[in-house]
């Protein structure tokens, strides 16, 4: 799929999937920091019937992690967001608590939901009212309400929502309508169609002054709790607060059907594949190959850094990358890989996203022997099995050095295609294999 190159800075965090539309990443002048408290309520009580899956969609996993954890992480990485209240149905509480522990979410409080979406949101808001001694929650100035199944929300858009909510009392994301909206007769015939330009789809996130939305819920009727869908409508009706509407990027879309889960997985994979780090040691041949790879992978939209020293001492590279290519001419290199795996384990780097680790073994001997090399590297299988338990995907690629310049170029091109493909697919089944470039 040929994608247009974007000029934006590549994200460190895969949760920040960038909208490609122009204008969506503009900054609000003078508003780069927030001087009031902001918390989030994430209603996650849905049953997910529409995906056709047996698991509620917020708990469907891809790349070993449930959707809800990606959404939580999208908020948790933002410094000015203090707390995230996740509201879940009774039979999902245990699962949710386990997810919070497993993926190390620090800002989350899990709260029991109600029988409808509005009751769940109100329960989430009430969590800030409880004056328990041990409660880490304090009432925020602004509360952002979001869907658990919209994982790709970005900081700059949340900033706009939070600031507009502080200024106007309420704010919400809108999008142009994708389809024409029509009114139907009770017999199933067309009554009339709406003029598309006058209407918008109301999306999430929405922001509110905490006191405003809380008061709206205190005053609203049973019918609102039972049948209402729109928080913006409640603050208008009960508090006279007219929400500021802000056009959001299309990446705010709601994961509703099975095809959306596929799309979300592909987006995360694509984002994880934007950067890689080549570790070479100080060997001349490895360094030269690394340079060639940097160039060829660059043409495939991947930004590659070369680390000449041992990775262990380069914690910056570890913390900002999810793909590592270890280039070596030494067939006794498995010990180095083992050390790398340990480093990832110690830094807990692979908790949120799988780490891809590719050994590239360059055979520079005059008469390369496949069987000798394979015997020397046979241990990669056990090491890969061990690493996989830590969410680290280890693959090996063998490459014979050839003197002919054209052949060598072709071999490097082939190698970089295999590397790019392993990084993009993140296939756990093929770990421990030795491939030939």
* Residue list 358-397, contact with a second copy (CB under 8 A): 370-371, 374, 381
Is residue 25 near a second copy by the rule CB under 8 A? no
Least CB distance to a second copy at residue 139 (A): 25
Calpha distance 183→186 (Å, rounded): 10
State the distance between the two ends of the chain, measured CA to CA, in whole angstroms: 23
Which of 37, 64, 116, 256 is close enough to bind a second copy by CB under 8 A? 256
Q: Is 13 or 55 the residue whose CB approaches a second copy more closely?
A: 55
Q: Is 97 a binder of a second copy (CB under 8 A)?
A: no
How many angstroms separate the CA atoms of 106 and 347, rounded?
17
- Asked if 317 is part of the footprint of a second copy (rule: CB under 8 A), the reply reads no
Residue 54 or residue 313: which is nearer to a second copy going by CB? Answer: 54
For residue 104, report the phi and psi dihedrals to the nearest 5 degrees: 60, 35
177 binds a second copy (CB under 8 A): yes
The residue within the footprint of a second copy, chosen from 243, 277, 318, 393 (CB under 8 A), is 243
Do 173 and 161 form a contact (C-beta atoms < 8 A)? Answer: yes
Per CB under 8 A, which region of 135-143, 200-208, 273-281, 323-331 contacts a second copy?
A: 200-208
When asked if residue 334 is in the footprint of a second copy (CB under 8 A), the reply is: no
Please pick, from the candidates 10, 141, 233, 388, the single residue that binds a second copy as defined by CB under 8 A.
Answer: 233
- Quick check: 137 binds a second copy (CB under 8 A)? no
Nearer to a second copy, 35 or 406 (CB): 406
Name the residue among 331, 215, 211, 258 with its Cα closest to residue 51: 258
Rounded to 10 degrees, the C-alpha dihedral 170/176/178/180 comes to 90
Pick the closer one to a second copy by CB: 200 or 312.
200
**Does residue 9 bind a second copy (CB under 8 A)?**
no
Q: Which two tokens stand for residue 306?
A: 């070369």
264, 57 contact by CB (below 8 A)? no
Residue 223 interacts with a second copy (CB under 8 A): yes or no = no
- Residue 47 in the binding site for a second copy (CB under 8 A): no
Residues 52-71 that bind a second copy (CB under 8 A): 52-55, 60-62
Give 241's DSSP letter: -
Q: Where are the alpha helices (H) located in 11-147, listed in sequence order?
A: 67-76, 93-102, 117-126
Q: Which is nearer to a second copy, 128 or 253 (CB)?
A: 253
Nearer to a second copy, 341 or 437 (CB): 437
Site for a second copy (CB under 8 A): which residue of 242, 319, 347, 382?
242
Using the contact rule CB under 8 A, the part of the chain among 135-143, 216-224, 257-265, 321-329 near a second copy is 257-265
The string of DSSP codes covering 347-367 is TTTTTTSPEEEEEEEEE-SSS
Contact characters 105-134, a second copy, x per CB under 8 A: ------------------------------
Nearest distance in Å: CB 374, a second copy: 6
400: its two tokens = 């014979």
Q: What's the half-sphere exposure (Cβ side, CA atoms, 13 Å) at 3?
A: 13
Q: Is 402 in the site for a second copy (CB under 8 A)?
A: no
**Residues 6-42 as b or e (16 or more Cβ within 10 Å = b):** eeeeeeeebbbbbbeeeebbeeeeeeeebeebbbbbb
Q: Is 175 helix (H, G, I), strand (E, B) or coil?
A: strand
Nearest-angstrom CA–CA distance, 85 and 18 = 25
Does 274 engage in binding with a second copy (CB under 8 A)? no
Binder among 244, 326, 349, 361 for a second copy (CB under 8 A): 244
Question: For residues 300 and 172, what is the distance between their CA atoms, to the nearest angstrom?
Answer: 37
**161: Cα separation from own chain's centroid:** 20
């Amino acid at each position: 799929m040929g994608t247009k190159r974007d000029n934006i800075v590549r994200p460190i965090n895969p949760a920040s999937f960038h909208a490609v539309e122009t204008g969506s990443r503009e900054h609000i002048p003078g508003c780069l920091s927030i001087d009031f408290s902001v918390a989030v309520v994430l209603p996650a009580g849905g049953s997910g019937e529409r995906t056709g899956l047996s698991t509620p969609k917020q708990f469907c996993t891809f790349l070993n992690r449930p959707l809800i954890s990606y959404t939580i992480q999208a908020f948790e990485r933002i410094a000015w967001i203090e707390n995230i209240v996740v509201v879940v149905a009774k039979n999902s509480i245990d699962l949710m608590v386990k997810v919070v522990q497993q993926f190390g979410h620090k800002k989350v409080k899990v709260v029991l939901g109600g029988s409808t979406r509005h009751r769940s949101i109100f329960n989430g808001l009430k969590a800030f009212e409880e004056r328990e001694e041990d409660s880490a929650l304090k009432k925020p100035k602004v509360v952002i309400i979001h869907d658990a199944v919209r994982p790709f929300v970005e900081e700059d858009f949340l900033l706009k929502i939070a600031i507009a909510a502080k200024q106007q009392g309420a704010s919400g994301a809108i999008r142009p309508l994708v389809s024409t909206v029509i009114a139907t007769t009770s017999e199933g015939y067309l009554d009339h169609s709406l003029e598309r330009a006058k209407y918008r789809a109301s999306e999430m996130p929405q922001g509110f002054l905490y006191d405003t939305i809380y008061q709206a819920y205190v005053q609203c009727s049973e019918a609102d709790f039972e049948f209402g869908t729109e928080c913006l409508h409640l603050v208008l009706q009960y508090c006279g607060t007219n929400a500021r509407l802000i056009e959001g990027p299309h990446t705010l879309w709601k994961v509703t059907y099975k095809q959306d889960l596929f799309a979300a997985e592909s987006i995360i994979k694509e984002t994880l594949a934007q950067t890689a780090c080549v570790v070479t040691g100080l060997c001349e041949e490895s360094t030269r190959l690394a340079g060639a790879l940097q160039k060829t992978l660059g043409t495939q939209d991947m930004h590659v850094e070369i680390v000449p020293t041992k990775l262990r001492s380069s914690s910056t590279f570890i913390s900002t990358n999810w793909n590592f290519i270890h280039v070596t001419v030494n067939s006794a290199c498995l010990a180095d890989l083992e050390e790398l795996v340990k480093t990832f384990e110690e830094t807990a780097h692979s908790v949120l996203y799988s780490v891809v680790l590719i050994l590239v073994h360059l055979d520079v001997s005059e008469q390369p022997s496949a069987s000798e090399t394979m015997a020397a590297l046979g241990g990669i299988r056990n090491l890969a099995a061990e690493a996989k338990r830590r969410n680290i995907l280890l693959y090996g690629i063998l490459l014979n050095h050839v003197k002919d310049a054209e052949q060598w170029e072709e071999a490097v091109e082939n190698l970089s295609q295999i590397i790019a493909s392993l990084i993009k697919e993140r296939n756990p089944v093929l770990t421990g294999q030795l491939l030939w470039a």
